[in-house]
Every structure is written in structure tokens, then in C-alpha cells.
Structure 1
């Protein structure tokens, strides 16, 4: 591209955004690599054209999608409703050493805005749009930006995130108090945490100390801010947004498939990478490297890399022992990509070939998993709870077929407690576990994405065949529920015995590591 064309392109950009023209010298030009340093607090098309397409608010998600989500939420609420959602906070490991920031899920779902110390208020009204949107953020601060990087200006928030108004976060508390007095229904993010006890989720209110130290000049506590609103008006926003998040749009499905592809290919390559004598940690690190180098922003969860008897620990995350020849490795790991989680588990032989006993038990779990996936359609009229009960029956049947004597185990509950102690799966999306309690009893619906992950974990007990002792096998896929047929999003992760052995031996024709 000639200098003249580059100069014209730069001039066009500055005409569209005169408020940032002062950031550029006359000799600077806009090129395909985007603008450095970026004037925005997150990737946007002008600064990151390698990540976003024109019209996208976040990578893969167009601005119309965010507008559709907000409109669907507001349409679902009664008249005279106000919606309030707050962003996540930066968390600190020690002192001023911070963890990599991840945005609060519901806030991101509604706005696509990725900066901390922010909030959004949606006022339902009778306009053509159906609501008024105000987004609060920390705005521009040149002194802080020298240390932390750019923040998005209020004008760019209105332009790129379609807010009707953008204000400094310091005005959020007073604005909310004023607005809340004018509405009969105020839907809020109510601070809460979950405690699991015998599969029942108990919600306890906790203290969320501050939205941000700088945002609330007087360090007003967000919980106190909620309490200042009449209890008769306050309603929880979470269940209303979770209804919308349960069914994935076409663009969401596309991003989730991309996340699963990155993770699936990483699984295949890690099978080839693994050798006797390696540490589980090295395998976990190589998996994360493969995901990151292919565009993932982070892993979706702490990975499980469990070799040999370690695989009997469902959430084994120490990953600090050596893999040995003759063992299997159970790796439960996947990435988060452009805001969406993936979740895949595979089990494979360190030596590159299953022993006869390993292949027999693996085949039993695989047969059960493949059957359960066939049930994941709307026409099957089955809930996750029913799918789990079916998984217990089919696991028992498969284990009896290969020589387990389960007659003394008097029901599926006994099998669950010892050999198959976890649930068959969960909804997945922006969060790794999307409101699974709410939807376990409801029939699966077209557009939902769930995991299907039966497993068998055989302790060294005389109750079970000796040649299966200390084997743990779990096979997990992400499944997009269809009207009549499911689609496996994680199809790129090998799971047939021949494919797993081929990946381990480097026979699948994968591109170089």
C-alpha cells in the first residue's frame, strides 16, 4: 500500500474520531496492524483488525448481538423496570501483584465492555429501542494510562458500545439511588456465594466491599448501596440473564466451536508430546502453550493431568508427579477463547498403545459416552437429570459386560458413590458451568451446549477385577443440542481407540508442535 493511501486512510480515521486526533503526529499513518499504542481499553477493530471484523464489538460477536441480548432482557421484564449490572474487580495475588483480569460474565454478556471498575444501567422505556443505556467507567486518565495502558473514552464508549450516555464511575452510586426511586422493579447483581452440601446449592449473601476504591470516592459499599433500595423493589438479575444465556445464538455457537477446536487440537498434540518420565506439570504447561499460541486468552480452568492412580482423584490439579510407561494419563483441560469456555477430557496411554485391560475399560466408557450423546437433542425430550440417571444405568451395563460383578451393589447410587461419583455433565458457555442447577430438571433445548462426561474410577478393592485396579477413565465432549441430532463441538480431540493411539504415535498427520 502506498504512503498516500495510508495517509488517506489515517485521515479518514481521524475524521471519524476527532477526539483522539491529538494522540497522533502528522507523520503517523494507520496500517493493517492497527494503532499502537491503542487508544482503547480493549481490542476494537481500528486498533486490532487482526482480531475483529468491522461491526464486531468483541472478537466474533457483532454489535447487533449485544443489542439483541439487551433488548431480549428488557422485553422479558415488566414495565417500569431498571437493570443494574456491575463489572468485575481486579484481584490481587499479593500486595500490588494482580491476577490477569477477567470480566464478570453477565456484565460482559450485556455490554461486551472489558474494563474493570464499571457498571451498566438499563432503563426500560417506550422508545423504539425499548430502553436507555448508561455505562459508567473510569474514563481517560493520562497519568494512570502511562502505567496501565489506555482506557476507553466516554465518547468511544457511546460510539463502540452503543451507550446512550457514558459517565465516570464516581457518579454511579448517586445516579443509581436517584434512578431507583423512579422505578418499581430494580434488577441487580446481588452479591452471593454458593456452598455445596449434598448437591443442594445454598446461596449466602456475602460482603462485596467496594466496586472500586476510585469509583466510589467515599468508599461506598456496594452491598450497602443495594440495601438502600427498598427491598420490595429489589429483584435478582442473575436468573433473568441466565435464561437468555442458556440458548446460544449462531454467533455464539461459532465462537464456542472455535474454542473447542483450539482445545481439541491441543489434546491431540499433547498425546504425541507425552513420554515416560515427563512431569504432569510439563504436559499441563505444553497444553496451555498450544492453546495460547493458537489465540486463546487463558485456560478455562485449572487443568487436570492425572497419571496412573492419580486419575482416581476427580479434581487432581497438583500435576507434580512423573508419568510412567504402562500408565494412562487423564487430562481434563481446555481453553477460554473470545469470552467462551471449552471443556474436554481425554484419557490416553503413555506408551502410545492401550494394554488389553486398558482398552477394555476405555471401550466400555466410550460406548456409554457415545450412546449418551445421541440423546442430546430437543426431540429426545430429556433433561440433564434424566441423562445422568441413564448414564448410571449404561455404565453399570457396560461394566457388567466386561466382567465387573455389581450384583452386590444394590443400586445406581452405590455405583455412583464408588465407581462413577460425578454428574454426567453441565451447561457451558461464557462460564464453564452455566447455571446447571436451574436447568438440570428442564428438557434440553435446541441451541444449548452441554458437556457429556461419564467416567469410571476403579479403586484397588477386591470388589473389582484386579486387572482394572487404579485405572481412571473419563471421556468428555462439548455437545451442541440440535432439534433432532446433536453436534459434537469438540470433535477435533481424538477419542476412538485407533485415533488416540494414532495421535500418541504421531500417525494422525497433525501439523508440527
Structure 2
């Protein structure tokens, strides 16, 4: 019986739903006139609808289920300090600035921190702030001043120097005129941001230099302390992956797995997730950046989970692919073994002595994956791998930001102390050019790797990766429970 005909059959199943007023259960029925397409992955629609997500009851594209207050709550998010600013200062409070002036002192520069300082009235509502005296002692700055004085102080400072290294906000670089107009409209006349824009834009282009590329060079090599923090972040994420494998069962929702992972990370001290997780079951894994996480896991499917936490300012990034019912099928095991073999070989190349760049590693990943796929029955033609089966790049630097790559060069030779991801993947669409028993299987295996001089270190070692370990984690044989 075809799947399209089967979906049109009457569905007189009674589903228990909670009545919001009486708090009792009452039956809810679907009828033959309602075409239910819940077995189809990926979904045919750009949003959850009753036809594709019958387990999500009362789906309506209206405002009746969402109050304005709930939507306002969703508009706001937990504050996170700008990465470069945090890297230089360690200061996490908003509305702050720092100026470093080169001089002839013993440490070679003078550091001035601008912030809000203490305000008992506002602290009653918003929480404590760091006072200026404490800023001097704790953050080892030479001077701590109110952010209100920043425009005037900046104006006087820049008159003393021929070169000023500074970064404008992204919006200002893209469209200075419209940004200035918007700030004037939204801000009171004495708002420091408006004055700051004016001061910065008064600098001649010959005096103004970009700062971010210089900081990117510093951030690319992790200190021993940074490496330890990143290992902790990876351990938290890795254990959460393992416990989420144990928590998984057919019939559970992808969103429940995402929530469970985040819950476990928070329990272990993580401040937030590093990015929106990918929890892709079955054919959803063929969507590289699948973050809807709104379908049910079916028996016999695999789950591709790309998730990592942030811990004490540093991100982690791990992907694992595992069977929903705890046991790989023969085709799943065969394809997984092929990707794993390539991934482990690529990790071994992540040393300074190899003299490779990220571009070199990616080219090697293509060669290795082609070899592995041919061994399991794939007949590959030109472009099949790069355009269809493996359309993404192998790696990216990681650290304070998930992708510390906006100013990095993929052609640069890897150096000891760098931390990168290694994440080959294979995503097999249901087309005749590929073996049918691999159709709709998507597999990605991603580790964080600390580049060594002669030996790489896998920071994400806590996340099960070998087939026996994955099945053991899923089946509760590793001594790990789901909580």
C-alpha cells in the first residue's frame, strides 16, 4: 500500500488530551477529511501543522494560543558580553568600554575601563553592579570611570595618538547613515552612544585601524588555562550526549531530547548552550542545519544530534549520530563505520608537524570519504560527494565563539594550541544513483581537537563515538543513567 494512500485512511484513533478548564481527560479525534502526514520526514511544510505534527494538539496560525506578554518574554534573551571585549577584560557587565593606551610603563600600556558603576536604585531592580574601586582591584585596570564620560574621554585620548585601533558596530560599518538616523530618532540628545558615533566617525580613515583582526590572532592560540576550560566544556557536553542517548526512545519528540541535553548541561554548571542544537531524526538528518526539532522519533531511525554548551565563556561543539532504539541496523552500522574511519584518520592529521591547513584537511576528508564509500558499494561520479553527499566544510576554529573564523585564514598552517572541529558527514538522499539501503540516512561525527605539536588531543572524548560505546550508552551498559 502506498504511503500517500495510507495517509488518507480514516484515523478514528482516540487521543487523550487535557481539558484546560476541568483538568480531566476527554477524547480528541481525527477524521478522514483531515490528511495526516506525520510519517513524512522531512516535513512538507515550513512550520508545524496538524497534517505533519498531529502530536502537537491545537496547532493554529493565530494569536489565540500566544498572549502578547508571552511574545514579549521571547523577544528578550540572556545578555552575553561581546567576545573580544570579554577576552581583553574579563568584564561581563553591559554598557561598558575599554581603552588601552600604549606607554612606557612596566607593562607597556595604560588600561581605562568605563562602566555603569554602583547605583542602589537600579540595583534593587536589575541586580548588583561592580563599583569603580572594585574594578580597579579585581580587573587590574589603571582607571575606572563612568560610561557617561566615555565620549569626552575618548575625544581627548584620540587627539594624542596617530593610530587608533577601533571597531565600529556591525550595523555602522554596513550603513552608517541609516544607523545614525535611527540612533538620533531613538536616543535622547545626551545619549553616550550617539556621541560615541560622532567621535569615532570624526577620525580620518588613515588614523583609524581595525582591531578585530589583531585580537583574532591572539585568540587563535589557546593558553593552558583556556585549554582546561574548553576541556571542561567538552566534558559537560560529552556526558550530556551520552546521557541523552540513554534517555532516547522511539516515540519521544526531538524537542524533548534537545531540552534534556540542555537540562543536563545546566546541572553540570554550564551557563548556556553555545548554539541552537540540531536534533534530527531519520531523514531530517539530511538537512544540515535542521533546528526545528519538532517531530517524533520513529523506531529504526537514527538521530543526529549536534549540540554543545558554553562554560565560563568558552563554547563546545559536538555531533553524534546514534540509533533511536539502541541498536544499529546493518546498513546504518556500515555507513557509520565508513564515516568514523575517515573522521579518526583526519583527527590524526591535526598536528603542527603535519604542516596542514584547514583547506588541506578538507581535501583529505573528501579523498578519505570517497575511498570509504567505494568500499561499501557507492559508485561515485564527479561532484556526487562534494555537491550531494558531503556539501559542507570539514572544520572551523572554536573558542570563545562557536566559529572563531571571521578573521581566520583557512589556508593558514595549523599551529599547536589551536582548537578546531573535525566533522565529516555523509547524507544520502533517496535517489537511484546511490545504494537504496542507505537512502535517507544522515551521519555526522564531530569532535573538538586541540592541535598539538606532534599529537592531537580530542577534547570531546567523553561523548561515545565507537559503535560498541554508542550502543552501550543507549542500552544503559556504560553505567550512565539518563539524569
Deviations 1:430-470 (A, max 9, x none): 00000266231001000000000000000000000000000
Q: Displacement of 1:231 after TM fit? A: 1.5
Aligned mates of 2:74, 2:387 — CA distance in 1: 44
Q: Counterpart of 1:147?
A: 125
Q: Displacement of 1:509 after TM fit? A: 1.2
Aligned mates of 1:325, 1:489 — CA distance in 2: 32
Q: Displacement of 1:222 after TM fit? A: 4.3
Are the equivalent residues in 2 in contact too, given 1:396–1:415 (CA < 8 A)?
Answer: yes
Helix, strand or coil for the counterpart of 1:324? coil
Aligned mates of 1:471, 1:334 — CA distance in 2: 22
Aligned mates of 1:217, 1:223 — CA distance in 2: 11
Aligned mates of 2:142, 2:71 — CA distance in 1: 36
Q: When the two structures are aligned, how many residues end up with a matched partner?
A: 410
Are the equivalent residues in 2 in contact too, given 1:277–1:324 (CA < 8 A)?
Answer: yes
1:253 aligned onto 2:231: no
Are the equivalent residues in 1 in contact too, given 2:246–2:481 (CA < 8 A)?
Answer: no
Q: Counterpart of 1:176?
A: 154
Aligned mates of 2:72, 2:209 — CA distance in 1: 35
Aligned mates of 2:266, 2:81 — CA distance in 1: 19
Deviations 1:383-438 (A, max 9, x none): 001100111111111111100001xx22xx44111000100010000000002662
Q: Displacement of 1:296 after TM fit? A: 0.1
Go from structure 1 to structure 2 and tell me whether the alpha carbon gap of 1:100 and 1:214 turns closer, same or farther (over 3 Å shift).
Answer: farther
Q: Displacement of 1:115 after TM fit? A: 0.2
Helix, strand or coil for the counterpart of 1:430? coil
Q: Counterpart of 1:244?
A: 218
Aligned mates of 1:216, 1:460 — CA distance in 2: 61
Go from structure 1 to structure 2 and tell me whether the alpha carbon gap of 1:218 and 1:100 turns closer, same or farther (over 3 Å shift).
Answer: closer
Helix, strand or coil for the counterpart of 1:184? coil
Helix, strand or coil for the counterpart of 1:378? coil
Of 335, 338, 344, the residue aligned with 1:361 is: 335
Aligned mates of 1:384, 1:213 — CA distance in 2: 44
Are the equivalent residues in 2 in contact too, given 1:169–1:216 (CA < 8 A)?
Answer: no
Helix, strand or coil for the counterpart of 1:347? strand
Q: Counterpart of 1:25?
A: none
Aligned mates of 2:320, 2:195 — CA distance in 1: 45
Q: Counterpart of 2:135?
A: 157
Matches within 5 A, 1:82-481: 94=72, 98-192=76-170, 204=174, 207=179, 217=191, 219-220=193-194, 222-406=196-380, 409-410=381-382, 413-435=383-405, 438-481=408-451
Aligned mates of 1:216, 1:445 — CA distance in 2: 48
Go from structure 1 to structure 2 and tell me whether the alpha carbon gap of 1:178 and 1:134 turns closer, same or farther (over 3 Å shift).
Answer: same
Aligned mates of 1:169, 1:216 — CA distance in 2: 12
Are the equivalent residues in 2 in contact too, given 1:191–1:223 (CA < 8 A)?
Answer: no
Are the equivalent residues in 2 in contact too, given 1:117–1:215 (CA < 8 A)?
Answer: no
Q: Counterpart of 1:65?
A: none
Helix, strand or coil for the counterpart of 2:95? coil
1:503 aligned onto 2:481: no
Go from structure 1 to structure 2 and tell me whether the alpha carbon gap of 1:328 and 1:169 turns closer, same or farther (over 3 Å shift).
Answer: same
Are the equivalent residues in 2 in contact too, given 1:259–1:340 (CA < 8 A)?
Answer: yes
Aligned mates of 1:336, 1:96 — CA distance in 2: 21
Deviations 1:65-101 (A, max 9, x none): xxxxxxxxxxxxxxxxxxxxxxxxxxx9848963100
> Can you give the 5+ residue segments of structure 2 that lack an aligned partner in the other structure?
1-69
Deviations 1:18-59 (A, max 9, x none): xxxxxxxxxxxxxxxxxxxxxxxxxxxxxxxxxxxxxxxxxx
Are the equivalent residues in 2 in contact too, given 1:93–1:99 (CA < 8 A)?
Answer: no
> Can you give the 5+ residue segments of structure 1 that lack an aligned partner in the other structure?
1-91, 195-202
Are the equivalent residues in 1 in contact too, given 2:279–2:305 (CA < 8 A)?
Answer: yes
Helix, strand or coil for the counterpart of 1:242? helix
Aligned mates of 1:169, 1:500 — CA distance in 2: 52
Are the equivalent residues in 2 in contact too, given 1:459–1:469 (CA < 8 A)?
Answer: yes
When the two structures are superposed, what TM-score results if normalisation uses the length of structure 1?
A: 0.77
Deviations 1:91-128 (A, max 9, x none): x9848963100000000000000000000000000111
Aligned mates of 2:188, 2:348 — CA distance in 1: 52
Q: Displacement of 1:190 after TM fit? A: 2.4
Stretch moving more, 172-181 or 215-224: 215-224
Helix, strand or coil for the counterpart of 1:380? coil
- Name the Cα RMSD after superposition: 2.2
Stretch moving more, 175-184 or 347-356: 175-184
When the two structures are superposed, what TM-score results if normalisation uses the length of structure 2?
A: 0.82
1:483 aligned onto 2:440: no
Aligned mates of 1:219, 1:357 — CA distance in 2: 59
Deviations 1:492-513 (A, max 9, x none): 0000000000000000112561
